Every structure is written in C-alpha cells, then in structure tokens.
Structure 1
C-alpha cells in the first residue's frame, strides 16, 4: 500500500499596507494589532508547512524599539529546531516595520505555529475595552508561618470615561475570518459534545 501524500499548508499572505497602518495605531491590549501583524509577517516568510518531523511550534519573547527595530529575540521554548530556524531567518529578513503604536518599546511573547494543521487566525477586537477579569488567587493559600488571612478578591476596575472613549474609537469591525478563527479556537479548546471531542 503506497504511502499517503503528506498534508501541507501554504504560508499565509503577509499583512497588507492597510493592516499595518491599523496595527501601527492600535494601542489597546498592549498593541494587539501590531503583535498579530508581526506574527503574521513572520509566518508568511517561513514558507509551506509540511506534515512530518520538521513541523512544530516556537515561542519567542520579543522587544521592538519605538521606531520598529527588533532589539531582543529570545526563544522561550520550541518543539522543532527547523521551525525555530525558519522563524529566526524570517525575523532577520523582515522588511522595516512601522513605529510602535504607543511610541514606547513593545515587549510581548508570541507563538509561531509551523504546522499544516494550525493557523493563527485574526484576533477578535470587540472586547478590548472591557475591564480585565480579576486574576484568581486562592484565598485560603497559606505558607504555614505567617498569620492566616483570607484574601479578598481584587475588584474589577472599569476604564475612566475618557480612556473608554479613546479605546472605543480604535475598535475595528471584526471580520468574518476573525469570528471563524475565534470559534475554531474555542472548538479546539473545549471540543464539541456532538462529536465527542
């Protein structure tokens, strides 16, 4: 029985000039649009991903200077030396990037997936002006030495009216592709009762 052909996925197109223009001005959620476009630019330059031992995922910590220059690239972890090598080569050959949206250094972690079974779809922006949910901390955690105190939950703090207005002005209309990608991420995370995943 002949071997079946290996699954492959072509590299996605790089961000358009319009997408970079939006990313360069979107300040919400640690410049979310810029971070997404940066990852899309890298993946587009890595080429076709083919099923097999070379596929994998790499996670970087990145720092971008206010003028768009890369100032730090650190590999946090990787599942494929080939994926890491291709990603680093793409990053070295990236075209000049626009300045960061805030005019300050942009520091973030980014996972690049080099796989025929995964695609980093566009993010959803509609909830970016909602307050951050409180971080859960076990109120009963105790080190066994200090006095026992039940920690009160941290209240959610909404944006002040001016900050909310500035945030809402930046929100784009989410695309069908972004909605579909969000739904797929939820399906991958939680599975489907109908399919038993």
Structure 2
C-alpha cells in the first residue's frame, strides 16, 4: 500500500518560500551566479536548509523560473490560437527576450542547458521551448519565416538579444531596434 506524500511542515514551507523570495531578489541584483550562501543568509536559514530544498543551483533556478517558463508556454499557445502566425511569433519572442534579460547571466545559463537533458533547468523550460517552436513552425508553414530557421536558432538569437542588456548597457536602449533587425533576418525572402 503506497502512502500519499505528506505536505511539508509549515516551518519548512516558510523556509522554502523565504529562500525563493530572497533568491529572486538576489538573482535579479547579481545574476544567476549569485552566492547561494548569500541567498541562505538573506532568507535567514542555514546553508544546509537551502540545500535540503534545492540540492543544486539549477534546482533553485528551476524553481524560480519554472512558473515564468510555464507562463511563456501558455502565452505561446494563446497567441498561436488568436493571432496571425508572424505576429504571434514576434510578440512571443519579444516577451521571451525581455524575460530572459531580467536576470543577469540567464541567457548563458539557458543556452548551456539546451543540450543537457539531465539538468533541472532543461526540464523546466522544455515545454516553453516546444511552444515557441510551434509558433516558429506555424510561421514557416505560412511562408513568412525562412524555412532554414530551426527552433534552436530562434532561442540563440533571443538569448543573444537578452545578453546585450547586461554586457553592453550602451546598447540596451537599442534593444527594440536590434529585435526588429533579428525579425527582419528571420523573414522569408519574396
């Protein structure tokens, strides 16, 4: 007879919630390589408590980003159902680019997990990547996006645009212009 998993104790759930709140703030300030020791300190827990909840940095990032990735997947599905294919892809890609730029170091972290199926972060963003891939495929079927563009190309370009914000702040103000240039490069030639 299998037992149902028990709900975490109230104090354990509070610790987990505090860790996530403080990790969100610290990763926003310092990037995805922020010190886990600082996360624990700010959350008011010991490092062992942090590791009990999140055994690796990727586990913590997956918990932080999982909901955002799920929202992006849902958004892709909604846009795909209601907007023309090119507009749906452009709107979704813009949202993805802005979100990936929210945390310093996230674009590089996301790219590193693309080919690592054992990564917790890989698993948590797979649905989001697949949803974006469906938007790309729909735009290609309509002939508005080049047929030689693969989903991995799309994510690499979006991550590169996100990376610019943190690496070259002087170019951050040109992000929308650069985004338009990328979209123009993706479009099928007449």
* TM-score, length-scaled by structure 1: 0.27
Looking at secondary structure, tell me which structure has more helix per residue. 2
Task: Indicate the structure (1 or 2) with the bigger Cα radius of gyration.
Answer: 1
* TM-score, length-scaled by structure 2: 0.27
Looking at secondary structure, tell me which structure has more strand per residue. 1
